[in-house]
Chains A and B, each alone.
Chain A
């Protein structure tokens, strides 16, 4: 911009620029400045009709003046653009329209299929519905017809091809269905996957049914021996059937369609459906024979522009009661919609009850009636047509609440959230898996739209102290979130349009955070790739356990090799096998480099190296039958099981693993050269998915309650693993010795599952790395390929506390350490107070990074002294626990407290689902722990003394002991907890409880604690003897005031920054925030300290 264009320029730096803020330019120039005009570029007719801008604009006829600069012109252009495209008023919700030229006869239909489900077409024909999105962002529903479900059963010896039609007729009569159920019975050659079959195929009967829902019945009939035609099966018990897999997966396996992959219906092979089942833009039907599935590699690893809706609701709860849909209304729904591949959301809006002031770049939709708001939101949902709906705790709260609320208000057809004509219903489900234990959840169907509840996802994939949105965000995004208590929400809602706006902002932030979390954690990419690698639909990944992913892969591979998979009866046997080995740790603090040798993908590589598989498992009698030679044709594992070698047959699992691992290498290679951040995320997701899949194979062979357990494989794998760890220890300790010319005798100090820690003895980091590298290559050579021992890192220094408990500084290059690594040390345990976490972290940092053990001891002593003298901030002592149910069997501190609080004030007491925060306070002798929990705010207000001993003995002692024992030895470590620093104790004088009512308060001298009883001194600060020290004591008291003032200032301004407003009161009540109690305490402490300070004004020594 030319300087002349600005009527005033201020330069503060110049002393001459007096009166700088005044428009004192020559009259001509300031005059013209006020008349800046550009040609009117806005034809007012193009305004949107609903824009309430009634002013008619008279187009200026004045010619362009010369002084108008480019910037001004650009700016006015912007203004006019914005007039027509105002993001606060008209955000485009709809999907892009279908291309005008679209014709099913000439255009092929290619889309990324995001969900698949079983369905019907034309009144009964079973189909598979594939939902998806085209590259242009159009939504698609494709009905795939004609695919028939089937099973296998081993043919009896005398069963010939001629028997097929007869057997079919027999089955029909046994089934006794009104319509013919059996489509066909054929005889094919297949091989049983379970156990080595001498590489020969046997005849199997393939029974194909007309409708997939008949298949279970047919299977049951055969298995229960009720379809034993002519008694041909010589079994009196049950008959084994093969290939038990659900229709949808069967279809995906047979058509090689993977979840989240691209499929294509060639032009002319499909017809549009007239009587549409859904609100998708394109709905078509076709036969499965013409469907093309694209492998998700190369070009087809792209993602369609999926629409992601992130939303959050606010409810007006009543005081002290968690919102209930029968009583409490939904007052706001905030929505953020983003297209995959774009950084900014294209829809930002809040549906609000009652008038609400506007928010920058956000559309506010105000409603007077809740019913209207809900109805409109439903319409919005349909219009914006999201492919993925995300949020925080939406599965268990938002979805069911909205549905129940709408039902209560009788909002008609509110529950059509799916893409089909199916109503959404929230169902109670119980999710149980070995990995995550039992969990009661609710599930709401949104057929055709995916759901990602970030809470469930984070709970599944990460171990955290707390799973509130606040603490999850502070963990991953590094920011604290304002937390408005639900009782406050009602208050804000009942206030003014401004206070409702505040609430809307809060709601909007809560809607935006799940989106940011998802981006940050690359959830969408990671889960998409997992679906593609394992082949299961996206939804299965969250709703089902580990097993289905593995089975999907296994079935795909089995199909290629004409193998059939037996339908084993799940038997929950309690049979246990020996797990991984742990080399007994030599506990201690090592200030020399400790090299870590890791087996890369140990269990997968053992399976590959030794050809361990279902297909290679062999029994003793079969060895004799086929006359196999030991170690040439078969091997015996350390566990005593036998498997044939690759000479006889290459195992199916080995092939799957090989493919997975080579695909992972490929993905990593591509990742290294890829620049585009979105593609990078996809590739990284893929290599992770491949790794996880490879590692899960072993686990499923050992899952005795699973579908395909094979303990022979599982226990052989671990036995090989144990052998290898021992072998590595032996090899390393034999080779790296002084006798062999090395400077020290190497020692393996610890080993676990797939890694060994070696102390080579050298102090030199680079040297240790060289030796580590050398050792890994040397030992790798002793093992069968692809087993590989890798040298990855050096720990220096290294603190080995116990099995699976250690900490160290992690080095991969000799110049600088990468990070501090800790395993199994309680920094994340949730029932610890923050003090434990910070002390442990700090101590570890001091020991490992600064290598200052005396400093760490001094720090611990200081902290303990502070604790006992009541100087530790109370917020560090707060323990929080969620109140999940009313009646616990055992009495627990937080439950007891919640009940006591309810007696005091039912309104503010924590309700079910709330997190209860408490501190331990001093109680009567002999009182139980759970009786001594107290509300931190109550403690603050009444100066209740804190049970510092509890914190020392029950919280700090154990973890500190663990850390210091290996360093200092047991006795010295104990001395940390007992000593000089524990002698000075100060206890707060409570204002409540037993005797306090009768106590008379007397001031004591600030110097010597002598009671000030004399008439002159009773108001003052010091006694006559300490009068000369008055300056010192004043300074001491003053320093405390100053200290608290700074605290007060810093704490409350931080909260203002966090809430994003200086002019509004801070209302956040996040108990997870480290400074919540601190700031409450600062208020009170500061007032008290000022009172102390005031005593000097009445003190003779200070004034005269």
Chain B
């Protein structure tokens, strides 16, 4: 890890050499965004959520069943051979069997809108709870499909993360109480992984020699090639006019990315290799004045009412809008964009719609930087929705979750809500483990729509991971973390928990050849 501290005394203050500064060339990475999570602008809401679960189950169940049948076929217990059962309903008491279905977690601590309505609470923002997990045995695990549901019990459940919406196969038997005693449990495992450069052409031939080498070496850490390119991942910039404690760091980050920080050698060897910035959520902060207001008006437990201004405005109050955070972000981006392409994912705090998948932040929020976006087609905004073969913008405003190909690698990333929600279900701090679980469940947002609000998909369930990414990142996490996981067919996935910049002042750099990760901490003194 390189920190500014290390290099501060050494090379920054030196005599100008007299030579004209070497003009550094920033490299360009091959970049191809996918539009997996893009929604129609005019989308119906007449349908219900049942379709999502149905689609998810149909898509993932074959894989789960294949894994289960490979593992359990022929297992004999108590003189009885385990049988495959088609539907949850067909589980018979006393028969040893295995069955696949969707997990449902019944947890009393899940926020209940019925309760909120009866207490006249503000229902759009559920009373936030740290965990749905209660730990007192009131939670129960159900397995269900379209035929019915059955309660799962047994110690085997303790060894796994269990969240609503993941698809699993369980082996065991129904006991006298009508519960299913689980002896063993399996899930789909990593989906098939596409080859590198499977989508982007052109580059493939040029880098073919290198490519072969890469596949062999897999992810082993090799000697730093000076030519290797990097992409920067950052999240939780949280531009704000209320909290300025990290404003300096944000400025340094800009300088760092612009290649203006540190000494020329570092600029040449390190900074100029950063070819793209990906912002993974929470670029602006809505804390302070704005967010507290609706909560205070409806929550009697707070005594903020006393400090409310004497004259209250009824109806819409335009002064309640605070334009500063998004202006700060806009100018940050417009400063950066001339030098570097940016991919922007929205997060929980950003001015994008609340439910998953979040749609790109609207150009209306970026009066300056939107010039770097592809131009809107005259008079017909609709055409832009159709994911065509058009060139992506230099400033690529994307969905959350988002999928794309960078330098041939398949990349999947989110703004963090998916992981935060899974986190609430389990008694564990192991966020990387949960990311791994999501990959193995083949679902990037299993808890949608149960506790993670989501669009009611009817035709397709995009959260299912059809093709295994090479890189999976989740933004807005409390701390940095990374690891590589492997699948049964030689798949390998680099997982990265991208820390929130406002908390940690950290940026993550990923090598586009090795997918090696380093983090840079920016400290202002």
Interface flags, B359-386, vs A, CB<8A=1, else 0? 0001111010010000010010110100
Given A75-B77, A1046-B453: A12 and B436 interface contact (C-beta under 8 Å): yes
CA distance A761 to B351 in the complex (A): 56
At the interface with chain B, which of A206-214, A579-587, A686-694, A1085-1093? Answer: A1085-1093
Given A87-B93, A980-B314: A838 and B353 interface contact (C-beta under 8 Å): no
Given A12-B161, A1052-B456: A1038 and B48 interface contact (C-beta under 8 Å): no
Q: Inside 8 A of B483's CB, which chain A residues have their CB?
A: 15
Q: Which of B78, B367, B432 contacts A41 (CB 8 A)?
A: B78
Q: B93 near A361 (CB under 8 angstroms)?
A: yes
Q: A1087 near B45 (CB under 8 angstroms)?
A: yes
Minimum CB distance partner of B41 in chain A? A1094
Minimum CB distance partner of A362 in chain B? B178
Does B128 sit within 8 A of A, measured CB to CB? no
Does B287 sit within 8 A of A, measured CB to CB? no
Does B244 sit within 8 A of A, measured CB to CB? no
Does B520 sit within 8 A of A, measured CB to CB? no
Q: A1053 near B49 (CB under 8 angstroms)?
A: yes
Given A87-B93, A1063-B146: A1051 and B113 interface contact (C-beta under 8 Å): yes
Q: B117 near A1075 (CB under 8 angstroms)?
A: yes
- Which A1052-1104 residues have C-beta < 8 A from chain B? 1052-1054, 1056-1057, 1060-1066, 1074-1075, 1078, 1082-1084, 1086-1087, 1090-1091, 1094, 1096-1099, 1101-1104
Q: A21 near B117 (CB under 8 angstroms)?
A: no
Q: Which of B54, B93, B164, B189 contacts A82 (CB 8 A)?
A: B93
Q: A1062 near B450 (CB under 8 angstroms)?
A: yes
Cβ distance A69 to chain B, nearest Cβ, rounded Å: 11
Chain A interface main SS type: helix
Q: Which of B44, B124, B326 contacts A1047 (CB 8 A)?
A: B124
Q: A1031 near B326 (CB under 8 angstroms)?
A: yes
Q: B54 near A1063 (CB under 8 angstroms)?
A: yes
Given A855-B300, A984-B314, A1036-B316: A1060 and B75 interface contact (C-beta under 8 Å): no
CA distance A369 to B363 in the complex (A): 66
Q: B92 near A86 (CB under 8 angstroms)?
A: yes
CA distance A1048 to B354 in the complex (A): 11
Number of interface residues of B (CB under 8 A): 122
CA distance A33 to B75 in the complex (A): 7
Q: Inside 8 A of A9's CB, which chain B residues have their CB?
A: 159
Q: Inside 8 A of B44's CB, which chain A residues have their CB?
A: 1087
CA distance A1082 to B95 in the complex (A): 45
Does B1 sit within 8 A of A, measured CB to CB? no
Q: Which of B48, B111, B433 contacts A1066 (CB 8 A)?
A: B48
CA distance A250 to B120 in the complex (A): 57
- Which B169-217 residues have C-beta < 8 A from chain A? 173-178, 181, 183-184, 186-187, 189
Interface range for A: 35 or more
Minimum CB distance partner of B44 in chain A? A1087
Q: A40 near B79 (CB under 8 angstroms)?
A: yes
Does A892 sit within 8 A of B, measured CB to CB? no
Q: Inside 8 A of A869's CB, which chain B residues have their CB?
A: 314-315
Does A846 sit within 8 A of B, measured CB to CB? yes
Q: A38 near B42 (CB under 8 angstroms)?
A: no
At the interface with chain B, which of A289-297, A352-360, A463-471, A547-555? Answer: A352-360
Q: Inside 8 A of A1044's CB, which chain B residues have their CB?
A: 124
Q: A22 near B75 (CB under 8 angstroms)?
A: no
Does A942 sit within 8 A of B, measured CB to CB? no
Given A1051-B113, A1087-B45: A1098 and B321 interface contact (C-beta under 8 Å): no
Minimum CB distance partner of B72 in chain A? A34
Does A981 sit within 8 A of B, measured CB to CB? yes
CA distance A88 to B92 in the complex (A): 8
Minimum CB distance partner of A86 in chain B? B93
Does A636 sit within 8 A of B, measured CB to CB? no
Q: Inside 8 A of A858's CB, which chain B residues have their CB?
A: 305, 308, 312
Q: Inside 8 A of A845's CB, which chain B residues have their CB?
A: 300
Q: B488 near A22 (CB under 8 angstroms)?
A: yes
CA distance A1082 to B285 in the complex (A): 28
Q: Which of B77, B155, B187, B355 contacts A1046 (CB 8 A)?
A: B355
Cβ distance A695 to chain B, nearest Cβ, rounded Å: 33
CA distance A1046 to B122 in the complex (A): 11
Does B467 sit within 8 A of A, measured CB to CB? no
Q: B77 near A36 (CB under 8 angstroms)?
A: yes
CA distance A342 to B106 in the complex (A): 26
Q: B183 near A75 (CB under 8 angstroms)?
A: yes
Q: A13 near B430 (CB under 8 angstroms)?
A: yes
CA distance A83 to B124 in the complex (A): 50
- Which B422-463 residues have C-beta < 8 A from chain A? 428, 430, 432-434, 436-437, 440, 449-451, 453-456
Q: Which of B114, B156, B300 contacts A846 (CB 8 A)?
A: B300
Q: B42 near A1090 (CB under 8 angstroms)?
A: yes
- Which A960-998 residues have C-beta < 8 A from chain B? 980-981, 983-984, 986
CA distance A1062 to B485 in the complex (A): 31
Given A12-B433, A1052-B456, A1074-B117: A1063 and B181 interface contact (C-beta under 8 Å): no
Q: B71 near A23 (CB under 8 angstroms)?
A: yes
Q: Which of A21, A39, A76, A1049 contacts B488 (CB 8 A)?
A: A21
Does B473 sit within 8 A of A, measured CB to CB? no
Cβ distance A779 to chain B, nearest Cβ, rounded Å: 39
Q: Inside 8 A of B102's CB, which chain A residues have their CB?
A: 1062-1063
Q: Inside 8 A of A1066's CB, which chain B residues have their CB?
A: 48, 50
Q: B124 near A1046 (CB under 8 angstroms)?
A: yes
Q: Inside 8 A of B145's CB, which chain A residues have their CB?
A: 1063
CA distance A116 to B149 in the complex (A): 45
Cβ distance B422 to chain A, nearest Cβ, rounded Å: 11
Cβ distance B266 to chain A, nearest Cβ, rounded Å: 30
Q: Inside 8 A of A1048's CB, which chain B residues have their CB?
A: 45, 355, 453, 456
Q: A1086 near B45 (CB under 8 angstroms)?
A: yes
Does A57 sit within 8 A of B, measured CB to CB? yes
Cβ distance A252 to chain B, nearest Cβ, rounded Å: 43
Q: B184 near A8 (CB under 8 angstroms)?
A: yes
CA distance A984 to B317 in the complex (A): 12
Given A12-B436, A1103-B363: A981 and B300 interface contact (C-beta under 8 Å): no
Q: Inside 8 A of A983's CB, which chain B residues have their CB?
A: 314
Q: Inside 8 A of B126's CB, which chain A residues have their CB?
A: 1046, 1050
Given A865-B314, A1052-B449: A1034 and B75 interface contact (C-beta under 8 Å): no
Q: B76 near A34 (CB under 8 angstroms)?
A: yes
CA distance A39 to B173 in the complex (A): 18
Q: Which of A13, A842, A1049 contacts B454 (CB 8 A)?
A: A1049
Cβ distance A339 to chain B, nearest Cβ, rounded Å: 17
Q: A79 near B78 (CB under 8 angstroms)?
A: yes
Q: B321 near A76 (CB under 8 angstroms)?
A: no
Minimum CB distance partner of B376 in chain A? A1103
Q: A78 near B89 (CB under 8 angstroms)?
A: no
Q: Inside 8 A of B300's CB, which chain A residues have their CB?
A: 842, 845-846, 850, 852, 855, 859
Q: Inside 8 A of A1029's CB, which chain B residues have their CB?
A: 318
Cβ distance B310 to chain A, nearest Cβ, rounded Å: 11
Does B57 sit within 8 A of A, measured CB to CB? yes
Given A850-B300, A1097-B41: A34 and B75 interface contact (C-beta under 8 Å): yes
Q: A357 near B147 (CB under 8 angstroms)?
A: yes
Q: Inside 8 A of A40's CB, which chain B residues have their CB?
A: 79
Minimum CB distance partner of B364 in chain A? A1102
Q: Inside 8 A of A1053's CB, which chain B residues have their CB?
A: 49, 449-451
Cβ distance B281 to chain A, nearest Cβ, rounded Å: 15
Q: A1038 near B314 (CB under 8 angstroms)?
A: no
Some 15 contacts from A to B, beta carbons below 8 A apart, are A42-B79, A59-B79, A73-B78, A81-B176, A82-B175, A87-B178, A357-B147, A858-B308, A858-B312, A984-B315, A1043-B124, A1062-B53, A1065-B48, A1103-B376, A1103-B381
Assuming A81-B176, A1057-B110, what are 7 further A-B pairs, CB within 8 angstroms?
A6-B156, A8-B184, A10-B160, A12-B433, A18-B485, A1065-B48, A1065-B50
Q: Closest 10 A-B residue pairs measured CB to CB?
A: A76-B78, A82-B94, A1097-B381, A1049-B453, A361-B178, A1042-B354, A1102-B364, A12-B433, A18-B486, A1045-B355
